[in-house]
Structure formats: structure tokens, C-alpha cells
Structure 1
Amino acid sequence: MIIQNKIKSALLLFIIAILARPLNAQELPLFKNGDVVALIGDSITHGGSFHAFLQVFNATQFPNEKVSYYNCGIAGDNTPGTTDRVEKDILIHNPTHALIMLGMNDVGRWLYPGTKKVDQETLKKREEILKNYTKNMEKLSALLIEKGVKLIFTTPSIYDQTAVLERKNNFGINDGLIDFGNAVREIAKKHNAPVIDFNTAMLAVNKKIQTNDKTATIVGLDRIHPGDNGHLVMAYEIIKTIIPVAFTSTIEIDAKTMKVNSAKNCTVDIKSGIKKFQVLQNALPFPVKESLRTTEKLIPESGNIAREILSIKNLEEGKYTLLIDDIKVGSYSNLALKEGINLSRNSLTPQYKQATKVSDLCFEYRSTNDKLRTIAATEFRSLKEFNGPNTLEAKKAFLEAKNEKSKGKSWYFYEKKKAKEYFEVLPKKDSIIKALDHIRTEIYTANKPVTHTYKLIKI
């Protein structure tokens, strides 16, 4: 009986230990092979790059999990507009997941004149807008859940109301967006869905860069649209929230015993000793352009994501050159190698170069997908009120007349340009869809890790 109780206790402790382990995202990625992710939003999604960074991350960290991403953002759209197009523009892709970021065009920017004091009527209108936003987000969520789509919510990205810019500062807009974010959290709680807090993350980085330069911003000079720096912050917040990969790989070798002490997410063959050993990683580095590294360093915990650690203990004192496939990637002291070097940002390694090609393909995918969004934006927003004959001539006349009415407005030239693009791209729609499929296949061919030969030579 005592033995049985001991066995039961040991089994219970084992189960508790297993359950208490931190989730290893390398084993349990959020997106699985065959999943389809719809990225729902307005212009910040439509013309943005956060989803391209996310695609790069998943393709490099989980090379066998082929996931399809569809940009479903439309410039100028809001929650009612998105709800109206959900069937024909979003569910048409049969998504398994939807990442939703809406609010910038719902917040009622005209209700924030930039003054600290506002009348009661304006405050009442703001409250009404918040209620409508909440109601529409609930409606959109219900439509997606009804089709079995798993929801991932985000708070709206920031309106920069702290930078010193030429553009008028409609102070208070970001406070309204924060209220929207709180509403999103309540909706997500009801559906047991994750929330990615873009707004807080972007405010934190913005505050850091504005400490020394009040004119600096991670969004554009219009205070609204982030560039790649801002989108990188957003991408990292997605990664940290739902795909927390700490290591691309970790290797620890004992030079004295010629044994591999540890090899996580990779296999290591040291038959020839540390002077020549082979490594096959299960993932590639997560590449980030040199021009974005300054911003990356400002993102909390970014340095603890997708690390690629090589540690070699008990080396003779001195300095060593590391070669991978006969390419010199760096020189390190025995103490640095003992501590462990992080190769994740070493652009000289063959792995990083391979990952960069994957990244290029993902951004090519983004720009190709953007052409389809030109078609969608025109048909679901610009042509929304069109009820004439279904001919290109009739649509062209309608858009030209509509654009002329907006002459003198800030969006006039943008809309004129997009209307022109629509008629250029529309005849190519089928070939663009085929091109997307082809690039997606290329991504998941180019991202497969291969065996590399490492050499450590004492200088």
C-alpha cells in the first residue's frame, strides 16, 4: 500500500511538473500547417507591414507549418464597413483565424479639436461613438465565430498626440482609442480570445524616442500611419503575446569531453571534434533589417526572442574564429564562447542569409497582395453606392464624378490615384491570385533548414 501511494505521489508530481512547464512555442505554434489567417483592419492593415513581419517570423521559426495570410484591410474602412463586407471579402478565404484591428476611423477624429476643454454635447457624442464601436465589434465577432473562425483581437494602434509635428494635433484622439481598446478587452473576455495591446507597446517606444527628440515618432507625420519601425513594434507585440519563442536554437558543447551537453531545436554531430562539427537547426533566424535595429532595441524583451545561442565550454584560453560553411562569421574569446554567443543577428551566417531570402519573399507576398486590396478597397468602399450597369465604363464615370466632388479635400489625389490603379489591376486579378499562391509555395520551400558545417579555429 505504501509503495502504491508512493507511485501515485510520484505520478502526481510528474503530471504537475508537466502542466507547470512554460509552453514551448516551438512545439505548440499558434498557427498550424494549413491554417488561414485573415488580417482585418483599415489603412494601417491595408498598407502596413506588421503582418509581413509576422509571416517572416512564422516562416522562419516554424518552417514546416505552412500558413496562408490574407490582408483584409481596406483604407478608410471602419467597423460597419467591415461588417458589411465580411462575407464577400473575408470569409471568402475560409480563414481559421482572424486578427482584428479597427478603430482609427471609428473614433470620430472631428470630435477632438485639440483643446483640453470640450462641451457636454461633444462628450456625449464620444460616448455614443464608443457604444456604436462596441456594438459593431460584437456583431463582427459573432459573424466570424458563427463560421468557426478563431478570433485574435488587438487594441488600435496609436494616434501620436505627443510628438511636435507640423500636422495639427487633435489632442485626445489616442485617449479615445484607449477607450476603444478597453472595449475590445471586454469583448475578447467574453469569447476567451487573446488581446494584443498595440497601443500601450507603441506609446512606450514613442516615449523613449521622444525623450531626446520631441519631433520623433514611430508613426508617420500624419500622426496616424506607422512606417516599418512602428509596424515592427506591432509585430513584436503579436509575437510576445501569442507566439513567445525564446530560442531558435541552443547548443552547448564541452570541448574537453567532446560531448554535446545540450542541443535544443537542432541536432549536432561532433564526430570530428570542435574543429569541425555539423549542425542542423529546426528553424532559421528571425531577420530584421539593419535600418530597423535601433527601433528593435527599444522594444522590451525583443532581445530575448528567437535567440540562436552557441556555447562551447572548456576551451583553451585565447581567441577563436568561427566559420560556418567556410564563411568567417566572427572571432570570439574562449570566455565569450563559454558564456554563449548569440548568432541571431549575425548577418554573415548562411542561416541568416537564407532567412533574409525568406523575408524578401514575404515582403514580395505583401506587395502582391496589396494589388488585390486596391480592387477590394475600390469595390467595397469607393463603389459602395454605385448602382449603374456592371461595366468598366460606367464604374469609371461614377468614380471620376465622385472624385471631382472631393476636389480640394486632403484625400482627393489619393482617391484619384487608387481609381486609376483599380482599372489597371482589375484585368490582372486572376494572375495576381496565382502569383500569391506561387510566392507562398516559394516561401515554404526557401525556409527549410539545411545542415551546416561549423569550424572553430584558434587564432
Structure 2
Amino acid sequence: MIRCILALALIAPVLAKEPAPLPAELSAYVLDPAPEPQGLQLKKGDRVAICGDSITEQKRYSVIMESYLSACLPQLEITCRQYGWSGEQAGGFLGRMESDVLRFQPTFATTCYGMNDFRYIPYNEPVAAEFRKNETAMVQAFKKAGARVLLGSSGIIDTVPPWVKTASGTKEDLNLCLSKFRNIGIQVATAEQVGFADLYRPMLLADFQAEKSLGPEFMVAGKDGVHPNWAGQVIMAYAFLKGMGIDGDLGTIRYDPASNKATATAGHEVLSCADGKITLRSTKLPFSPGPGDLKNDDSIRAGMALVPFDDDLNRLVLKIEAPAAANYEVSWGEATRSYTADQLKAGVNLAKDFETNPLLPAFKKIWDAVEAKQAYETRQIKSLVHGLEGAADREGTFAVTEKARAKLVKTLEDAKQPAEHAILVKAR
């Protein structure tokens, strides 16, 4: 029995369940069940390496991920580095992995390769075998260095990219090839007993639904067919955060109208409660990008609407367990919403319902600091370490650029400050 328990523990991060079937229009795509995490895969103090090609170098899904980890889960004290490199394949990453990444001793790594590896051609077995070999070697190198791995699939394409002169086949030919590369990723993750982030399936489904409801101009994979705008990048970040086993519970605030008292879970402190006004100090912030156009593929809010981002990852809940009235108005900042007693008894998600809220400025400070830090991380590795400075003195270049990066890290840490805000609950 002990042996069985140990064996189950080893494969716990990569258990799979049968997903809902794809729409009939997508029946040509054969997607193996993706492994799902069993509980939170992150540990306090993890150093996360975010690795990938030009889509990672766009610093969009990576900024979403790091901003989320910093603002929504500050208690984990996670730090991140972004290592995107345009045009890179898994094999190319292997060549710089020791020098650029492992020297900083990551404890957790996310990878996103496959888009360049499949070479924009219909499925080719020798090309697929090369990808499998390099993905396996990459995972094994991280494991040997003591890092846990969340192996990400590629996403989809929206058009055959005209800027890839060697591209061949139709859009469906290439997406079918990418679906097979996704399945290879699952096989590698299962064999190596590491986590898997399925970016492909949610992007395929979101693109299908968006085209039906919003028209062909809405492109989840981006206007050039490959590099997603903000909507597609949100879906990528969603897949990675789900792959980390994050449950999305950012806290619950409970209010009792009869006693006019309120309580809150960890990450939120009730400072006062009088006449339905609950004043709080929050260290856990909801993911708050502000309002956005749901019909624009360059909108973060549009991406959040295409996947259950708020429901799965962004729940800051207000509950009235014994409502005394049939209806209530809830004001949070300058916005007010109406709820029934039953809705409040079940709990309402403030993060989802209030796109503009008083915690948005605190979240934006973290977001801005993450953006600045990740922009420098690209410059540090690509322009300086792999530039003339690094050619002259690689170790010296790392030393001086780390001093510059440290200032940006401190700015991010300083941005993680508790924020005071108030929720007003009134019976109607």
C-alpha cells in the first residue's frame, strides 16, 4: 500500500481526465486528454523561469502571469524572470539554457515551444521526432537542476503567416500539425512526470467561438496569424495559471446586517464596519486590468470573457449569510450594483462584477513594475549578455546587469503594498 501511495504521489501532477467533446465543426482535431494538476504546484519562495519563443518575448502572457502571482498570491513570495527569444525552437533554448537560465537556479519553469519547431508545414514525422527529443532534453535538464516543470503547448495559428517564406499547407493543415505537437507535449510531460499547460485547446475553442459571435476579424492568435494580441495572451496566461493548480480563491468577505459586523479571510483585514460600510485593508488584490472592449482582440477584457478567467482564477467574494431584505445595493468605489438576497447569500464575485474598483490603482502599480522589469530582462539577455558587451566579458556583463535588474525588482517589491478600500451594502 505504501508503494502504491508513493507511486500515486509521483504522478499526481499529471493525472488526466476526459474533456468535453469538441464542436462537430472541429471533429478533425484529435486532442488527447491533457494532464491536470492535483493541487497547487507552486511553493513559497519559488523562482519561476518563463521560457519560450517570440510569443513569450512579446511580454504579454508573461506579464499577466507575474502580475497575477505578485498581486493575487503575494503570500507565496514568488519571483519571476522572463526568457522569451524570438524565432527560438526548443533545441535553440537548450543551447543557452545553462548560461542564461540555470545560472539563476530556478525552482519552477514554464516553457512554451512548438510554434517554430513545427516549421509551419503539415505534419512531418522527422520534424516531430526532433521536437519530442528536444522537449524531453529540456525537461530533463530542468529536473537535473532541481526545477519543477510546467510544460506548455503551443497555441494555434489564425492564418498561414505570409512572412514565413517556407510555410506550406492550409490553415487547417498547420493547426492539425500543431494539435499533434500538443499531444507530443502531453506524452513528454507524462513520461517525465511533470506538469502540462494546455494552451492549444482553449485557444482553438475560443477562436472558434469568437469567429462565430464576433466575426473573422477577431483573431485569437493575432493579426499576423501567430503572435496573439492581448485577448489570446490572456488565454495563454489562463492556461499556465491553471496548470500551476491555482484555485482562484482570493478571499471572502462576510457581512451580517443584523449585528452590523463583517469578517474576512486571510489577505483581507476588516478595519471597521458601521451602517453597512465595511472598510478593509487588503494585501491580496484581484486581477484588475480595468474596463475593455469585449469585441476587440487587443483587449485584456475580451480574453477574460473567452475563458472563465474570473470564475476560475479571480474570485473575491462578498456574502451576506442572513440577509434581512429582499434586495441590496452594493457600492465598491464609484460603482454600484444591485443584487437579490439569494445572490448575496450564495456570494457575489466583486472582481468579476466591478471592472472599475478601488483596488485597481494598487494593482496597476504592480503591473507597471512587472512590465518594466520584464522589458529589462529581455534587454539584459538578448542585447547585452548576447551582444558586444557579453562577447567581451560575459560574467562581467551578467554582474553589472544584475545590479540594474535588482533596482527593478525592488520597485516591484515596493509596489506590493496593502490597499485600503470600502464596500457599502444597503438594503433596498
* TM-score, with length taken from structure 2: 0.76
Paired amino acid for 2:136: E
Change (3 A) 1:214 1:276: closer
Instruction: Report matched runs for 1:331-346 at 5 Å.
Output: 331-332=337-338, 335=341, 337-338=344-345, 340-345=347-352, 346=354
1:229 aligned partner: 231
Paired residue for 2:146, among 148, 152, 156?
148
Aligned in 2, Cα 1:163/1:201: closer, same or farther, shift over 3 Å? farther
What is the DSSP-based 3-state SS (H/G/I as helix, E as strand, rest coil) of the residue aligned with 1:350? coil
The one-letter code of the counterpart of 2:235 is: V
Structure 1 runs not aligned, ≥5 long:
1-27, 113-122, 384-389, 393-426
Q: Secondary structure at the match of 1:344?
A: helix
Question: Which residue type is aligned with residue 64 of structure 1?
Answer: Q
Matched, 1:297 2:301: no
2:265 — aligned with what? Answer: 264
Matching residue of 1:424? none
Taking a change above 3 Å as real, the CA distance of residues 347 and 159 of structure 1, as seen in their structure-2 partners, is closer
Q: Deviations over 1:160-208 (max 9, x none)?
A: 259999x987421222222221111111112211110111111111111
Mapped partners of 2:258, 2:271: distance in 1: 12
Q: Which residue of 1 aligns with 2:383?
A: 375
Which consecutive unaligned segments of at least 5 residues does structure 2 have? 1-38, 293-299
CA RMSD, aligned part only? 3.4
In the alignment, which residue of structure 2 is the partner of 1:214? 216
Sort the Cα spacing of 1:334 and 1:76 in 2 relative to 1 into closer, same or farther, 3 A. closer
- For 1:85, the equivalent position in structure 2 comes to 96
How far is the alpha carbon of 1:343 from its aligned partner? 1.9
- In structure 2, the partner of 1:203 is 204
Which residue identity does 1:314 align to in structure 2? P
**What letter is aligned with 1:160?**
D
Shift of 1:134: 0.9
| SS of aligned partner of 1:211 | helix
CA distance in 2, matches of 1:282, 1:56: 14
Change (3 A) 1:433 1:214: same
Higher deviation after alignment, 30-39 or 229-238: 30-39
Match of 1:401 in 2: none
Cα deviations across residues 189-243 of structure 1 (Å, max 9, x unaligned)?
1221111011111111111111141233112232111122211110011122323
Check the 8 A contact 2:87/2:116 in 1, yes or no. Answer: yes
C-alpha separation between the residues in 2 aligned to 1:108 and 1:272? Answer: 60
| Inter-CA distance 190–362: structure 2 relative to 1 (3 Å threshold) | same
Instruction: For 1:434 and 1:450, locate their aligned partners in 2 and report how far apart those are by CA, in whole Å.
Output: 29
Cα displacement string for residues 139-177 of structure 1 (whole angstroms, at most 9, x for unaligned residues): 222222211111110111212259999x98742122222
Q: Which amino acid aligns with 1:437?
A: A
State the one-letter code of the partner of 1:55: E
Output aligned runs, 1:357-396, within 5 Å: 357-375=365-383
Matched, 1:322 2:328: no
Match of 2:118 in 1: 107
Q: 1:56 deviation in Å?
A: 0.9
CA distance in 2, matches of 1:77, 1:239: 23
The one of 352, 363, 381 aligned to 1:355: 363
Tell me which residue corresponds to 1:447: 416
CA contact (8 A) 2:203 2:235 kept: yes
Separation of aligned partners in 2, 1:221 and 1:271:
50
Normalising by the residue count of structure 1, what TM-score does the alignment of the two structures yield?
0.71
**Matched residue SS, 1:290:** coil
- Counterparts of 2:382 and 2:70 in 1: how far apart (Å)? 26
Q: CA deviation at 1:304?
A: 3.7
Partner of 1:56: 67
Conservation of the 8 A alpha-carbon contact between 1:74 and 1:376: no
Q: Quote the sequence identity (%).
A: 21
Report if the CA contact (8 A) 1:74-1:377 is conserved. no
Q: How far is the alpha carbon of 1:272 from its aligned partner?
A: 4.8
- Where 2:413 maps in the other structure, the secondary structure is helix
Contact 1:368 1:432 in 2 (8 A): no
Quote the offset at 1:361 in angstroms: 1.6
Q: Is the 8 A contact 2:150 2:244 kept in 1?
A: no
Q: Distance in 1 between matches of 2:302 and 2:361?
A: 20
* Separation of aligned partners in 1, 2:340 and 2:181: 53
Query: Which of structures 1 and 2 has the bigger CA Rg?
Result: 1
Tell me the distance in 2 between the aligned counterparts of 1:341 and 1:90: 42
SS of the residue corresponding to residue 204 of structure 1 reads helix
Superposed displacement of residue 74, structure 1: 1.4
1:76 to 73, 87, 105: 87
Equivalent position amino acid for 2:338 in 1: Y
The 5 Å alignment of 1:95-174 reads: 95-109=106-120, 111-112=121-122, 126-161=124-159, 170-171=169-170, 172-174=173-175
How far is 1:316 from its partner?
Answer: 4.2
Counterpart residue identity of residue 225, structure 1? H
Whether the 8 Å contact between 2:199 and 2:239 is mirrored in structure 1 is: yes
SS in structure 1 at match of 2:83: strand
Distance, in Å, in 1 between the alignment partners of 2:359 and 2:68 is 14
Counterpart for residue 23 of structure 2: none
Whole-Å separation in 1 of the counterparts to 2:246 and 2:362: 22
Cα distance in 1 for partners of 2:88, 2:275 equals 58
Amino acid at match of 1:244: I
Q: How does 1:15-30 map to 2 (within 5 A)?
A: 30=41
Tell me if structure 1 keeps the 8 A contact 2:327–2:339.
Answer: yes
Contact kept? 1:161, 1:169, Cα under 8 Å: no
What is the CA distance between 1:67 and its match in structure 2?
Answer: 2.2
